Amino acid sequence: MPLTRLSRRDALKITATPFALAAATGLSTKKAIARLATSTIRVRRNINDPIFGADVAVAYRKAVGIMKGKADTDTKSFAAQHSIHTNFCPHGNWYFLPWHRAYLVAFEAICADVLEDPTFALPYWDWTEDRILPPAVGQPTFEGQPNYLFNGTRFMKDTTTLWQSLARFNVDAERIFGRANIKTIIDSRSFQGFGSLKPTGQDDTSKKWQRRSGRKSALEREPHDFCHGGVDGDMGDVNTSPRDPVFYLHHCNLDRLWARWNASGKQNDSDPLWHGFTFEQNFWDTSGNPIDVKVSSLFDTLSLGYRYDNVPAPVVAMVEAASAAPQDRFKTIASAVANAEAKLNTATALPVSVSSGTPEAAALGVTQTVLPKSTRNRVFAFINEVSVPSRRNIGVRVFINHPHVTPDTPSDDPHYAGAFTFFAGDQSGEAGMHGEHAQSFALDITDTLDAIRRAGTKVDNEIVVQLMPIGFEVSPEEGRFTVGSVDIAELSS
């Protein structure tokens, strides 16, 4: 993909934009998070960029080295920054993207502070284009010195590709990180379909909801979770992942994809339970003061003081504009209690019967009746309350109404619908029905149902969601997990 380079003039124009936007929309630039922003726009670049990559890697390495040298009690230490993630990070719900954006902004401000360089911007790792770890973080030494960006616990060595790493689970990384999947993800119209769903049952903005489980949509469930599991070692566990400096490069890329999604004209969620939520004192500013960050203050990267090298300025993702957009609506079409136990290398079938209504509809089959009438709508399968097995080194591929799924069924089979792994579940500490770390997944199955229909396969009465878990160095006992229920839902957006 060609990088868009801006002339100095364009850069100046952009520098002026956030204030113009803020004035136009009446938003205050004095919000707490904005205090971290400086007056020049920091440009986050690809760490492998042939022109800028080497310098930004040197700067990031230096910042991490300084932070690693500080006492753990110092809010600017690498360890203290890690503790923020352990204590507050939401996963598996709609706070995933905004929280990690705020985390990066606060971390980046501290890097800039210790470097005494206000222009410092975090680099990103674009795993769609670059399948191995960026050499700047992948190699144990740099110019004969220990490399502060290296982490010795990783499964991925400097020449291992994500493709090779995910092959351990029979997961095809092309279906996770490849251009076609990223395009499908960017094409989702709904914020929740893109960036994970509202916590189940959420009815106010009290802080207990921050880490309650919603459902993981494609961006989090696939490239996010599988990059953690693919790099593995510290990166593979939610509680240790920020110990690996590649964590911040990975999240920068996810944040870039959110910016790209907005730049392509998609609106953030208009629900005040989302944009009106505040992350209370989760982060520190550069003087060590805790700061509050409201979700709606995170929509415009320019007002936060940064942009990405290859993302055009957003088509305004302000909450005011979003309020006018229709609310996302997930309407349940059919549900089934599963209470199923899944085992490694074995297909677990989770059938959901769908009444096809009239005899005429029944004659057309389930795929025809379930596929949305409007092309704006999508059909989802929700796989709910999936318990976390005692070892998480497992990839689970999901198929729909396949006549006979085996561990070797290829991922380019028309019945393939996506994959999930076990990075982090509900972290609220509240024990759910299937253990406190249970997590739920949302898979857009519209294209799969359409492929089945086009193949001429008639599906009567039920949609069968099939799981195929494959572990790496996981015993059959360690690989068991349970699934609470399955829903088929239609999303209108």
CB of 241 to ligand C2O, least distance (A): 6
Q: Which lies closer to ligand C2O via its Cβ, residue 89 or residue 182?
A: 89
| Angle value at C-alpha 253, between 248 and 258, nearest 5 degrees | 120
| Angle value at C-alpha 183, between 230 and 91, nearest 5 degrees | 50
CB of 462 to ligand C2O, least distance (A): 35
Q: Which lies closer to ligand C2O via its Cβ, residue 100 or residue 415?
A: 100
Q: Which lies closer to ligand C2O via its Cβ, residue 42 or residue 85?
A: 85
Query: How many alpha carbons fall within 13 Å on the CB side of residue 170?
Result: 18
CA distance 12 to 181: 35
| First-residue to last-residue Cα distance in the chain | 29
CB of 423 to ligand C2O, least distance (A): 7
Which of the ranges 83-91, 284-292, 317-325, 337-345 carries the binding residues for ligand C2O, by CB under 6 A?
83-91
Q: Encoding tokens for residue 444? A: 């857009």
Q: Which lies closer to ligand C2O via its Cβ, residue 92 or residue 418?
A: 92
Q: Which lies closer to ligand C2O via its Cβ, residue 47 or residue 483?
A: 47
Q: Which lies closer to ligand C2O via its Cβ, residue 228 or residue 266?
A: 228
Considering only 42, 61, 76, 85, the residue that binds ligand C2O (CB under 6 A) is 85
Q: Which lies closer to ligand C2O via its Cβ, residue 42 or residue 251?
A: 251
| Distances 485 to 29, 333, 400, 445, 446 between C-alpha atoms, Å | 45, 14, 16, 17, 20
User: Could you give phi then psi for residue 424, rounded to 5 degrees?
Assistant: -155, 140
Residues numbered 414-453 forming contacts with ligand C2O, rule: CB under 6 A: none
CB of 91 to ligand C2O, least distance (A): 6
Longest alpha-carbon distance in the chain: 75
CB of 328 to ligand C2O, least distance (A): 23
CB of 38 to ligand C2O, least distance (A): 26
CA distance 221 to 336: 22
Q: Encoding tokens for residue 44? A: 């986050």
- Residue-by-residue DSSP string for 30-93: TSGGGGG--SSPEEE-BTT-TTTHHHHHHHHHHHHHHHHTS-TTSTTSHHHHHHHHHHH---SS
Size of the site for ligand C2O (CB under 6 A): 8
CB of 226 to ligand C2O, least distance (A): 11
User: Could you give phi then psi for residue 72, rounded to 5 degrees?
Assistant: -55, -25
Look-up of token digits 């994970």:
196
Residue 91 touching ligand C2O (CB under 6 A): yes
Residues numbered 207-236 forming contacts with ligand C2O, rule: CB under 6 A: 224, 228
CB of 410 to ligand C2O, least distance (A): 28
Q: Which lies closer to ligand C2O via its Cβ, residue 91 or residue 434?
A: 91
Q: Which lies closer to ligand C2O via its Cβ, residue 91 or residue 189?
A: 91
Q: Measuring CA to CA, which residue among 235, 254, 199 is closest to residue 442?
A: 199
Q: Which lies closer to ligand C2O via its Cβ, residue 246 or residue 386?
A: 246
Q: Which lies closer to ligand C2O via its Cβ, residue 83 or residue 119?
A: 83
Angle, helices 53-68 vs 78-88, to 10°: value is 90
CB of 386 to ligand C2O, least distance (A): 18
| Region label for 401, one of left (φ > 0), alpha (ψ between -120 and 50) or beta (otherwise) | left
CA distance 488 to 465: 10
Residue 340's DSSP bridge partners are: 483
CB of 440 to ligand C2O, least distance (A): 17
Residue of this chain nearest to ligand C2O (CB atom):
89
Look-up of token digits 């030494």:
141
Residue 89 touching ligand C2O (CB under 6 A): yes
User: Could you give phi then psi for residue 241, rounded to 5 degrees?
Assistant: -55, -40
CB of 100 to ligand C2O, least distance (A): 6
Which of the ranges 84-92, 114-122, 153-161, 404-412 carries the binding residues for ligand C2O, by CB under 6 A?
84-92
Residue type at 383?
I
Other beta carbons within 10 angstroms of residue 270's beta carbon come to: 18
CB of 220 to ligand C2O, least distance (A): 8
Considering only 93, 165, 181, 241, the residue that binds ligand C2O (CB under 6 A) is 241
Q: Which lies closer to ligand C2O via its Cβ, residue 85 or residue 154?
A: 85
Residue 423, helix vs strand vs coil: coil
CB of 41 to ligand C2O, least distance (A): 25
Q: Which lies closer to ligand C2O via its Cβ, residue 229 or residue 418?
A: 229
From residue 98 to residue 117, the character string flagging contacts with ligand C2O as x (rule: CB under 6 A) and all else as - is: --x-----------------
| Distances 294 to 38, 80, 488 between C-alpha atoms, Å | 19, 22, 32
Which of the ranges 85-93, 290-298, 326-334, 438-446 carries the binding residues for ligand C2O, by CB under 6 A?
85-93
H or E segment at 227? helix 225-231
Residue 352, helix vs strand vs coil: strand
User: Could you give phi then psi for residue 206, rounded to 5 degrees?
Assistant: -70, 155
Residues numbered 249-268 forming contacts with ligand C2O, rule: CB under 6 A: 251
Residue 168 touching ligand C2O (CB under 6 A): no
Report the interface residues with ligand C2O, using CB under 6 A: 85, 89, 91, 100, 224, 228, 241, 251
